[in-house]
């Protein structure tokens, strides 16, 4: 059955469903594998999040952390969130936190994901009573360092470590195909935290962003976007449909724009049977988690598209989480993200091209070998 959770030699170790009848909060926590350490993964808040989706994401985190050589296991959480005011959202987050408190931080460490950021992480640790139960906390949320003078502070998701890492992965992938980033055309689907920071860092590398899409629609700007206006849209968190200029296009038309690099940085399964045949990118860098099912990814790879899988490309967020957990400052965190992302991407893509094998399969081999060896110990 496609939507069932698959159990295998790697996990999952825990599949937890919680419900608060007082406010109608329903949530899921999957701790997939803790061979490398405590399960690490963000909390997703969407109207249609499912237990199966959370499990798929948790398994991705298992491979992501192992491949990045981070002492965390794989986990993920989801809260069914159909919308509401800040007061209700806080109540949902804190209800979920209290119901899974038994697992934090010994087995699970939370973090930001879709519709959760630094404030949600503040609420989460307030409810668990443990500063260590989540990363991605506000920079002004600090605690005294253990056993020495000083303090450790949050490194919020809003610093953009994931999008920064996606841009670095794209840079490596382009170099593998001999594409000059200063002439590279890029389309970004999803303009939240990951998409906006990927945009910023790709522009700094000289790339030309020619198309941006979010849930309100898409804009095609063959000569690139006007920087001042884009900065204003990002700072005000306005939809891309408010952009004055370019050509407004339908969501499906976005996928058929010929570009050097396509970055799906939105939600799960955004590339699917209905739009996969129109894709004309030379490279896909998976900024979002599980942007397509593996069968579709394999089909696109067989057509000659180089794909940087999610657990390689978007590992910047969990690398940042590790940096926060260790008490690093933001500069040291960004240095660590750049070094690890570029090394992983280069390793996976070179081996993929040498063996003419899908990069996901290569990355999976490497990650599974690491986890299996650790499990033996």
The domain made up of 161-316+344-364 has a fold known as Rossmann fold (3.40.50)
- How confident is the model at residue 138, as a pLDDT? 93
Query: Which residues fall within 8 angstroms of residue 315, CB to CB, at 6 or more apart?
Result: 64, 65, 67, 68, 165, 340, 341, 344
For helices 316-326 and 51-67, give the axis angle rounded to 10 degrees. Answer: 70
Please give the Cα distance from 246 to 219 (Å, whole number). 6
Beta strands in 87-161 (DSSP E): 108-109, 142-144, 151-153
Q: What pLDDT score does 8 carry?
A: 96
pLDDT of residue 1: 36
pLDDT of residue 150: 66
User: Average of pLDDT values for 108-121?
Assistant: 94
Query: 14-60+74-157 adopts what CATH topology?
Result: Rossmann fold (3.40.50)
3-state SS assignment for residue 226: coil
Q: Report the SS3 class of residue 374.
A: helix
Return the bridge partners of 75, or none: 31
User: What does the block give as tokens for 104?
Assistant: 């934090």
Residues ≥6 apart with Cβ < 8 Å to 322: 70, 71, 72, 336
Percent of the chain with pLDDT over 90: 86
Sign of dihedral through CA atoms 357, 163, 187, 174? negative
Q: pLDDT averaged over the chain?
A: 94
> Model confidence at 143, in pLDDT bands (50, 70, 90)?
confident
Q: Rounded to an integer, what distance in angstroms lies between the CA atom of residue 208 and that of residue 224?
A: 6
Which band of pLDDT confidence, cut at 50, 70 and 90, is reported for residue 252? confident
| H or E stretch at 17 | strand 14-20
Catalytic residues: 76
pTM here is 0.87
pLDDT band at 281 (very low <50, low <70, confident <90, very high): very high
CA 235 vs. chain centroid, Å, equals 21
Domain assignments of the chain as residue spans, ordered by start: 14-60+74-157, 161-316+344-364
Per-residue tokens: 204: 């700094």
- State yes or no: pLDDT of 145 exceeds 60: no
pLDDT in tens, 37-63: 999 999 999 999 999 999 999 999 999
- What is the predicted pLDDT for the residue at 376? 93
Separation CA 285–CA 264 (nearest Å): 7
- DSSP letters, 300-367, are HHHTT-EEE-HHHHTTHHHHHHHHHHHT--HHHHHHHHHHHHHHHHHHHHHHHHHHT--HHHHHHHHH
Using CA atoms of 170, 172, 176, 177 in order, give the dihedral in degrees to the nearest 10. 30
Do domains 14-60+74-157 and 161-316+344-364 share one topology? The answer is yes
């Amino acid at each position: 059955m496609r939507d069932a959770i698959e159990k295998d030699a790697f996990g999952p170790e825990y599949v937890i469903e919680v419900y608060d009848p007082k406010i109608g909060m329903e949530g899921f926590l999957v701790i997939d594998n803790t061979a490398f350490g405590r399960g690490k993964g963000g909390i997703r808040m969407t109207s249609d999040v499912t237990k199966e989706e959370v499990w798929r994401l948790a398994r991705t985190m298992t491979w992501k952390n192992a491949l990045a050589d981070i002492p965390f296991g794989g986990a993920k959480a989801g809260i069914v969130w159909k919308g509401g005011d800040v007061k209700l959202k806080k109540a949902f987050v804190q209800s979920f936190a209290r119901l899974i408190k038994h697992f934090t931080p010994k087995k699970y460490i939370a973090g930001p994901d879709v519709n959760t950021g630094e404030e949600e992480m503040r609420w989460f640790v307030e409810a668990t009573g443990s500063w260590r139960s989540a990363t991605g906390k506000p920079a002004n949320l600090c605690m005294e360092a253990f056993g020495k003078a000083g303090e450790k502070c949050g490194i919020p998701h809003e610093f953009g470590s994931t999008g920064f890492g996606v841009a670095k992965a794209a840079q490596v992938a382009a170099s593998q195909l001999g594409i000059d980033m200063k002439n590279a055309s890029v389309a970004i689907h999803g303009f939240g935290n990951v998409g906006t920071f990927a945009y910023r860092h790709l522009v700094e590398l000289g790339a030309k962003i020619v198309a941006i899409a979010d849930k309100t629609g898409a804009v095609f700007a063959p000569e690139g976007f006007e920087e001042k206006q884009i900065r204003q849209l990002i700072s005000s968190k306005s939809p891309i449909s408010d952009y004055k200029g370019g050509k407004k296009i339908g969501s499906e038309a976005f996928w058929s724009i010929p570009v050097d690099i396509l970055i799906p940085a939105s939600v799960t399964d955004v590339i699917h049977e209905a739009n996969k045949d129109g894709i004309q990118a030379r490279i896909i860098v998976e900024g979002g988690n599980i942007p397509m099912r593996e069968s579709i990814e394999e089909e696109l790879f067989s057509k000659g598209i180089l794909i940087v899988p999610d657990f390689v490309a978007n590992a910047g967020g969990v690398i940042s989480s590790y940096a926060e957990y260790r008490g690093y400052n933001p500069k040291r965190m960004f240095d660590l993200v750049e070094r690890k992302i570029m090394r992983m991407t280069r390793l996976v893509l070179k081996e993929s091209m040498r063996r003419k094998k899908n990069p996901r399969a290569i990355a999976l081999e490497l990650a599974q070998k690491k986890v299996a060896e650790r499990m033996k110990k």
